[in-house]
């Protein structure tokens, strides 16, 4: 007599297999979101400090007295995004061409051609 399995058990088994496969893929669209710092000791600093970490959301970034909104940010795949950032830095309005590349726990942020590497805060 063949064993019969309920549709719910089969669906649960398929879902578990799919979810375990998802964990093996690199994180996608929101790879760049999070808190980033040049040195991990900065991760604990508040935004009132000049050495505060950079906080990036899907819409923009904040760091101490610098606040930016992303414009036309597009992914080129493989952990890379580019677009523009409209910023207010200590009250001064500025615009930058930006590129963000994520590799593991490192974000390379390029603003108008000047690149810096940041580490993801825990």
Q: Is the pLDDT of residue 114 over 80?
A: yes
**Strands (DSSP E) found in the chain:** 34-37, 54-56, 60-63, 66-77, 80-89, 92-103, 106-111, 114-120
Q: What is the DSSP letter of 29?
A: T
Q: Is the pLDDT of residue 12 over 60?
A: no
Whether 1 and 23 have beta carbons less than 8 Å apart is answered as no
State how far Cα 15 lies from the chain centre.
26
Domains in the chain, please, with CATH?
Answer: 29-120 (2.40.128)
Confidence of residue 80 (pLDDT cuts 50, 70, 90): very high
Q: Is the pLDDT of residue 74 over 70?
A: yes
Q: Is the pLDDT of residue 14 over 60?
A: no
Confidence of residue 30 (pLDDT cuts 50, 70, 90): low
User: How wide is the angle at C-alpha 28 spanned by C-alphas 95 and 52, nearest 5°?
Assistant: 50
Task: State the pTM of this model.
Answer: 0.73
Q: What is the mean pLDDT of the chain?
A: 81
Which pLDDT score is estimated for 76? 86
């Amino acid at each position: 007599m063949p064993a019969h399995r309920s549709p719910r058990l089969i669906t649960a088994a398929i879902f578990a297999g799919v979810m375990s496969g998802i964990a093996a893929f690199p994180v996608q669209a929101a790879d760049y979101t999070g808190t980033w710092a040049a040195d991990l000791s900065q991760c604990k600093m508040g935004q009132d400090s000049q050495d505060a970490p950079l906080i990036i959301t899907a819409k923009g970034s904040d760091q101490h007295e610098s606040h930016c909104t992303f414009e036309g940010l597009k992914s080129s795949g493989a952990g890379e995004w580019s677009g523009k950032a409209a910023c207010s830095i200590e009250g001064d309005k500025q615009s930058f061409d930006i590129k963000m590349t994520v590799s593991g726990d490192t974000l390379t942020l390029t603003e108008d051609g000047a690149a810096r590497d940041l580490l993801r805060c825990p």
